[in-house]
Amino acid sequence: MNPVRSLSVRNRDMQKRYQSNGQAGIKHKQKESANTFFLPKTSNGVRPPICHVCGGSDSDFFTEKNGCMLYKCQGCGLMFVDPLPVSTEELYSQDYFSGAVAGFGYVNYDEDKEPMVPAFLKYLGLISSELGGSKGRLLDVGAATGFFVRLAKTAGFDALGIEISDHAAALGRGKGLPIQTGTLADVEGSFDCITMLDLIEHVPNPRAEITCAAARLRKHGVLVINTPDSGSMFARMMGKRWHLICPPEHLYYFNRHNIKQLLEEAGFTVVLETTIGKSFTVKYIFKTLHRWTSLAPFGRLADLFGRKSLSHVSVPVNLRDNMFVLARRR
Query: Closest by alpha carbon to 225, among 233, 236, 217, 237?
Result: 217
CB within 8 Å of 81: residues ≥ 6 apart: 68, 69, 70, 247, 248, 251, 252
- For the domain bounded by 110-279+315-329, which CATH number is listed? 3.40.50.150
Per-residue pLDDT at 47: 66
Q: Which residues pair with 169 in a beta bridge?
A: none
pLDDT tens, residue order, the chain (330 aa): 455 544 544 444 544 433 333 333 323 333 333 333 333 444 444 567 999 999 999 999 999 999 999 999 999 999 999 999 988 888 898 888 887 777 777 868 888 899 999 999 999 999 999 999 989 999 999 999 999 999 999 999 999 999 999 999 999 999 999 999 999 999 999 999 999 999 999 999 999 999 999 999 999 999 999 999 999 999 999 999 999 999 999 999 999 999 999 999 999 999 999 999 988 888 777 877 877 788 888 888 878 877 776 777 888 888 999 999 999 999
Cis peptide bond N-terminal to 248, omega within 30: yes
How is the chain split into domains, by residue range?
3-89, 110-279+315-329
Q: Which amino acid type is present at position 313?
A: V
Query: Closest by alpha carbon to 155, among 111, 117, 183, 198?
Result: 117
Query: Closest by alpha carbon to 6, among 70, 85, 95?
Result: 85
Question: What is the C-alpha separation between 199 and 264, in angstroms, rounded?
Answer: 19
CB within 8 Å of 194: residues ≥ 6 apart: 138, 139, 140, 141, 184, 213, 216, 217, 221, 222, 223, 224
Per-residue pLDDT at 7: 52
Q: Which amino acid type is present at position 245?
A: I
Per DSSP, the residues of 105-167 read S-SSHHHHHGGGHHHHHHHHHHHHHHTTT---EEEEET-TTTHHHHHHHHTT-EEEEEES-HH
CB within 8 Å of 159: residues ≥ 6 apart: 137, 138, 139, 140, 149, 152, 153, 178
Buried b (16+ CB within 10 A) or exposed e, 277-308: ebebbbbbbbbbbbbbeeeeebbebbeebbee
CB within 8 Å of 307: residues ≥ 6 apart: none
Say how many C-beta atoms besides its own lie within 10 A of residue 274's C-beta. Answer: 11
